[in-house]
Amino acid sequence: PPAADAGETLYAGWDCPQVAALYAYAPTQPDELALAEGDIVNVTRKTSEGWYYGERTRDGEAGWFPGAYTAEIASPHVRARNLRQRYRLLALSATYLGQRRKPV
């Protein structure tokens, strides 16, 4: 992953591009994000060297990954569906964790 980059692009969380992983990626550094083929990632930073920083929608894990391993999701309908699915997963996780914390 790159250091500070003058050509870096930053995105707001509500307006960030989504990408789908075309290939699996195994991290080589602790701040990198592992990708499985088909993973959806919300990208918050892009560098001029082709590295992206983003959050994987299925579990919220974040890190750097090579942009060449992904393709941007252009359809607003698909983006909306992915965001709805992420919201449902987060809501279910919160419910599950809340139930586990209750005394029996």
Name all domains of the chain by residue range, CATH numbers in brackets.
Answer: 9-101 (2.30.30.40)
Q: Is the pLDDT at 104 greater than 60, yes or no? A: no
User: What pLDDT, on a 0 to 100 scale, did the predictor assign at position 3?
Assistant: 58
Give the contacts of 76 (CB within 8 A, at least 6 positions apart). none
**Predicted confidence band of residue 99 (pLDDT cuts 50, 70, 90):** confident
Q: State the DSSP code for 91.
A: H
What's the whole-number average pLDDT of the chain?
85
Res 87 pLDDT > 90: no
The string of pLDDT tens digits covering residues 45-68 is 999 899 999 999 999 999 999 999
The more confident residue out of 26 and 74 is 26
